[in-house]
């Protein structure tokens, strides 16, 4: 006889169906598919059917041929491991058409197994010593430049007043810009700028790497003096982010990049809502800041509403899991900064790549304009 | 000045566009987005523009508002690490609408960095000592049963003539069926059956686990005597599969389960073609057998053509990367076996879960019928 706590994880699915009856059948299918994975009519111990099989809590229409099913799962079926949590939420049903994860509610009994972000909003601000304004970030690119050129760019960005200076996510360990060479150079460049400005900009090298190398690179970066790390959990697996955030010997702020995760965001009828995936789940996994394509940029699927939902998920109460920074990015221009402040407020990182490179000949001036656009005095140095 | 080998990875993208001009603009955007990630008009070193930026090799219409763009990338930009390969193929463009990966061609200069499957088709047959017929697999379920009940089921399945007996992919390490307890029990049960039958059925425990536990569980399984392992690379990250396949101290056949990977398969206009993701990429990563939903089962998106494409990708020449087993699964019934043999031939694993559980009271007889349906004599014992 199973003895379970009674605590349950709740998932809201959007289900495509032509009738309430079909929606109900599909929702029941989700309950079985995500747990016992046998046909409903198969003989089964009664306690398993009662406690292990998912449970429909609510079901109702939300639009033409669209229903919302609220389904709960016993915490013991789901947790406390992140891969299994992802599996129960969306493992097999990801393979079915017309089922989308719209929301997840985590019970405390599950949340207490997750440490979440080590720094979060407040911790990252403390590390930088910056309060009362959005943070500014940029990416070191284009791929193809040498470690020396990259370090020079990092220096210029830190000197001009950028707070978070990250590797471009596409630069992992290419032969023309090896990790081991560029990381100490860029750290040194940003430290040199910091000595000159009195500020505390940080460099975040990209530790997205093979499964057996991520921690080695993170440790190299930490020893070199990097102030944070960049990871693409879509490429490494989300749990690698969790393991990295939980590693007390690394203990650096983590910025998550959404590369490859777009696979889950390609259709309004399937996949996982961006607020859940890039907001809730990456936060649960331990990102201190989550990058996502800003609306009006070059990623058309990310509307203002989608971006707001992601930002909202970064701060929504979630047990003891800290709030984190939303990081709108992708084709951000200097002119849009006032609008961005209106949408995201001050608790955001504005990640500006190409537009700053375009102003490289007058970078200090361009960044002063950014500060003015945020309604704050320019960088102090 | 960049010195590159000239070898290139080729990716075929399906691009939604209303005109040839728009298709061309979108294809150029892919070339920049996936590499240098800066606007095309930004000043850039000429050797970077010539060698790092992706290159459109061909572009043409393939249907209404649909174009096929063949884009190549320098091997030095792509490899030799799997996360970076995934990033170049689909990292940022995964976040854009209407771009789908239809095919990948790997040059030898890239393939030689990948060991691929350790066993493959032939190695797995050698381990089992079974030739000339499809293999039979099953899953131990439903979730909620105890290790003792699970071992009993494993025994019955091995006794009846099933070759590959795996954990249900949803059973990782739940409190009611802990990994440490169930694995030795199931190994022992299958070994006992093997002693009685003279055959060599194997048990494959599910090592899908947190990033820092996968290898620990795999090692536990190996020491307990497991004959193979089950992993869901969508939950752990694809590179964890590669690392596991490459680990000489584990060295067990690996079966990959597609849980969560459906996120990439939800739309014909976005994501990654199933043959590429579940066939080519999981094979490159080192799966010896790749599970996918069989057509006509409970996963409607998997048509006969999709399943054929996956099966084809498991055996297509790919440098020194071994051919592997396609494993159609999901709602497979005994009656469909002759049809399956027609579609997949003998080089496949038929994974039959619920339908065998339904016949548990007459399992030996049901499996003899399966053998007959495959056109071979029943199991020897």
Least confident of A64-68, B137-141, B337-341: B337-341
Measure B122 CA to nearest chain A CA, in Å: 27
Measure B120 CA to nearest chain A CA, in Å: 22
The per-residue pLDDT for B301 is: 80
Q: Is the pLDDT of residue A375 over 60?
A: yes
Asked if A211 lies within 8 A of B237 by C-beta distance, the reply is: yes
User: What's the whole-number average pLDDT of chain A?
Assistant: 95
The per-residue pLDDT for A210 is: 97
Chain B contact set for A167 (CB, 8 A): none
DSSP 8-state assignment for residue A206: B
Mean pLDDT along residues A315-319: 96
- Which residue of B91, B243, B269 is in closest CB contact with A212? B243
Question: CA nearest A288: which of A125, A117, A123, A115?
Answer: A117
DSSP 8-state assignment for residue A100: E
In Å, how far from its chain's centre is CA B48?
35
Chain B contact set for A77 (CB, 8 A): 143, 174
Burial level of B334, CB count in 10 A (0-12/13-18/19+)? middle
* β B66-74/B325-329 pair status: unpaired
Mean pLDDT along residues B102-116: 95
Is the separation of the CB atoms in A127 and A227 below 8 Å? yes
The per-residue pLDDT for A4 is: 86
Q: Which residue has the higher pLDDT, A2 or B193?
A: B193
Q: How many CB atoms lie within 10 A of CB B129?
A: 10
DSSP run (H or E) holding B105:
strand B99-105
Mean pLDDT along residues A117-134: 97
Measure B288 CA to nearest chain A CA, in Å: 19
Mean pLDDT along residues B255-273: 92
Residues A328-355: tens digit of each pLDDT: 998 788 888 999 999 999 999 999 999 9
**Predicted ipTM?**
0.96
Ramachandran assignment for B248, one of left (phi > 0), alpha (psi -120 to 50 degrees), beta (any other): alpha
The per-residue pLDDT for B339 is: 92
Q: Is the pLDDT of residue A372 over 90?
A: yes
Q: Is the pLDDT of residue A259 over 90?
A: yes
**Residue in B with minimal Cα distance to A149:** B45
SS3 of chain B: helix, strand, coil, percent, to 5: 45, 20, 40
User: Model pTM greater than 0.95?
Assistant: yes
Mean pLDDT along residues A275-293: 98
Q: Using CA atoms of A157, A158, A160, A163 in order, give the dihedral in degrees to the nearest 10.
A: 100
What is the rounded distance in angstroms from the CA atom of residue B96 to the CA atom of residue B34? Answer: 12
Is the separation of the CB atoms in B161 and B196 below 8 Å? no
Ramachandran assignment for A142, one of left (phi > 0), alpha (psi -120 to 50 degrees), beta (any other): beta
Is the separation of the CB atoms in B289 and B279 below 8 Å? no
The per-residue pLDDT for B78 is: 94
Q: Is the pLDDT of residue A381 over 70?
A: no
Chain A contact set for B45 (CB, 8 A): 144-145
Is the separation of the CB atoms in B171 and B142 below 8 Å? no
Does the annotation mark B24 as catalytic? Answer: no
Chain A contact set for B37 (CB, 8 A): 139, 141-143, 168-170, 353-354
What is the rounded distance in angstroms from the CA atom of residue A161 to the CA atom of residue A184? Answer: 21
Residues A16-72: tens digit of each pLDDT: 999 999 999 999 999 999 999 999 999 999 999 999 999 999 999 999 999 999 999
pLDDT bin (cut points 50, 70, 90) of residue A300 is confident
The per-residue pLDDT for B298 is: 75
Residue A253, SS3 per DSSP? coil
Q: Is the pLDDT of residue A161 over 90?
A: yes
Q: Which residue has the tokens 């790092």?
A: B52
Mean pLDDT along residues B248-258: 98
Residues B278-318: tens digit of each pLDDT: 999 999 999 999 999 999 887 778 999 999 999 999 999 99
Residues B32-74: tens digit of each pLDDT: 999 999 999 999 999 999 999 999 999 999 999 999 999 999 9
The per-residue pLDDT for A146 is: 97
- Chain A contact present for B5, CB below 8 A: no
Q: What percent of chain B has pLDDT over 70?
A: 99
- Which residue of A82, A144, A172 is in closest CB contact with B81? A172
**Residue in B with minimal Cα distance to A32:** B142
Cis peptide before B190 (omega within 30 of 0): no
Asked if B37 lies within 8 A of A142 by C-beta distance, the reply is: yes
Q: Copy the structure tokens of residue B214.
A: 């996968």
């Amino acid at each position: 006889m199973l003895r379970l706590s009674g605590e349950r994880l709740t998932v809201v699915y959007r289900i495509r169906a032509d009738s309430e009856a079909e929606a109900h059948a599909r929702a029941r299918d989700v309950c079985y598919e995500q747990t016992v994975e046998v046909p409903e009519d198969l003989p089964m111990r009664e306690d398993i059917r009662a406690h292990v099989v998912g449970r429909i809590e609510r079901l109702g229409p939300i639009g033409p041929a669209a229903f919302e099913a609220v389904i709960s799962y016993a915490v013991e079926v789901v947790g406390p491991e992140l891969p299994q949590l992802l599996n129960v939420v969306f493992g097999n049903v990801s393979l079915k058409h017309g089922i989308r994860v719209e929301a997840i509610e985590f019970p405390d009994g599950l949340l207490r197994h997750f440490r979440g972000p080590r720094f979060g909003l407040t911790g990252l601000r403390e590390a930088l010593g910056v309060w009362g304004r959005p943070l500014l970030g940029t990416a070191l690119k284009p791929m193809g430049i040498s470690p020396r050129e990259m370090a020079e760019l990092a220096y210029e960005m830190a000197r001009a007043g950028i707070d978070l200076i990250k590797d471009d996510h596409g630069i992992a360990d290419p032969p023309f810009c090896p990790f081991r060479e560029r990381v100490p150079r860029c750290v040194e460049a940003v430290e040199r700028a910091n000595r000159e400005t009195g500020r505390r900009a940080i460099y975040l090298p990209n530790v997205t790497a093979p499964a057996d190398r991520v921690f080695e690179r993170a440790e190299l970066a930490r020893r070199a003096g990097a102030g944070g790390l960049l990871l693409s959990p879509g490429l490494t697996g989300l749990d690698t982010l969790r393991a990295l955030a939980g590693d007390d010997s690394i203990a650096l702020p983590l910025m998550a990049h959404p590369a490859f995760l777009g696979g889950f965001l390609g259709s309004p009828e399937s996949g996982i809502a961006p607020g859940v995936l890039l907001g809730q789940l990456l936060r649960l996994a331990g990102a201190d800041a989550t990058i996502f394509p800003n609306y009006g940029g070059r990623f058309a699927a990310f509307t203002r509403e989608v971006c707001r939902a992601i930002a909202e998920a970064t701060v929504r109460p979630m047990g003891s899991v800290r709030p984190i920074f939303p990081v709108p990015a992708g084709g951000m221009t200097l002119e849009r900064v006032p609008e961005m402040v209106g949408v995201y407020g001050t608790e955001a990182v504005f990640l500006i790549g190409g537009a700053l490179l375009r102003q490289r000949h007058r970078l200090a001036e361009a960044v002063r304009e950014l500060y003015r656009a945020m309604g704050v005095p320019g960088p102090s140095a």
